[in-house]
C-alpha cells in the first residue's frame, strides 16, 4: 500500500501526527493525501491549515490536498488557495471530497479546471454516483477516489456476491473490491476500521 489518506479532522490532527512519525525515513515511498476542513478552505486559512498538516506529518509537501466537503467558503476562494499552495510547492495537486455533480459544475465555473479528483463514497451498495457524478468526472478526465470500496464497515450478506465468488474462487469482499476496480477512472482507497469488540 503506497497511498496514505488522512485529514486534519481525523483525531483532531492526532492521526497526522502519528503518520508523521510512522513515515519517518520512508516519506518518498508513499503518495500522501490530506484534507482540509471546509471552514479552513478560505483565503489565508487554507495556507495555515496546510502548514499545520505539513508540520504534523513531518513533511514539506503533500502529493494531494483535498477540500474535505462543501462548506460556506466560495469555491473560487478555495481554488485560489489551492493554486497558491501549488505555486509555493506545499502541495503537488489538489482535489475535492464528497462533492456532487452540481458542486463539480460550480467548481469548474470557478476556475477549478486543475482539480485532480473527487473522493466519494462508492461501492456495490452506494452506486448513486454512477448516474450523474461519475459520467461528469469522466467527461472532464477526472478520476474518482472511492473510499469504503467494500462498504461502510461491513459487506452486506449478499447471495449474488457469494455466488460470483464461488465461480471465481474468491471471497465476497474480493468480488466487491474487484467490482469497484473494474472502472479505470476509479482509484480505490481501502478503509480500515477497528473491529468492534
Which residues are catalytic, by number? 10
What is the C-alpha to C-alpha distance for residues 176 and 167, in angstroms, rounded to an integer?
14
Name the strand (E) or helix (H) holding 15: helix 14-22
* φ, ψ dihedrals at 146, nearest 5°: -90, 115
Phi then psi for 35, rounded to 5 degrees? -130, 145
Between CA 101 and CA 131 the distance in angstroms is: 10
Residue 144's nearest CA partner among 125, 165, 128, 156 is 128
In residues, how long is the chain? 197
Tell me which residue has cell 460470483: 164
Q: How far apart are CA 139 and CA 153, in angstroms?
A: 31
Answer whether 83's CB lies under 8 Å from 121's CB.
Answer: no
Amino acid at each position: 500500500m503506497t497511498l496514505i489518506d488522512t485529514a486534519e479532522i481525523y483525531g483532531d490532527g492526532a492521526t497526522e501526527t502519528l503518520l508523521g512519525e510512522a513515515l519517518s525515513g520512508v516519506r518518498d515511498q508513499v503518495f500522501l493525501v490530506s484534507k482540509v476542513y471546509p471552514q479552513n478552505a478560505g483565503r489565508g486559512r487554507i495556507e495555515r491549515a496546510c502548514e499545520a498538516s505539513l508540520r504534523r506529518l513531518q513533511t514539506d509537501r503533500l502529493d494531494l490536498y483535498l477540500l474535505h466537503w462543501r462548506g460556506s467558503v466560495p469555491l473560487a476562494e478555495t481554488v485560489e488557495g489551492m493554486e497558491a499552495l501549488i505555486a509555493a510547492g506545499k502541495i503537488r495537486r489538489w482535489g475535492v471530497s464528497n462533492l456532487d455533480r452540481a458542486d463539480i459544475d460550480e467548481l469548474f465555473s470557478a476556475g477549478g479546471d486543475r482539480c485532480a479528483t473527487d473522493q466519494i463514497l462508492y461501492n456495490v451498495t452506494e452506486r448513486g454516483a454512477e448516474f450523474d457524478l461519475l459520467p461528469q468526472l469522466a467527461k472532464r478526465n477526472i478520476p474518482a477516489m472511492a473510499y469504503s470500496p467494500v462498504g461502510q464497515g461491513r459487506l452486506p450478506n449478499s447471495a449474488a456476491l457469494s455466488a460470483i465468488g464461488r465461480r471465481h474462487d474468491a471471497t465476497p469482499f474480493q468480488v466487491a473490491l474487484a467490482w469497484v476496480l473494474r472502472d479505470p477512472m476509479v482509484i480505490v482507497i481501502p478503509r480500515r476500521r477497528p473491529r468492534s469488540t
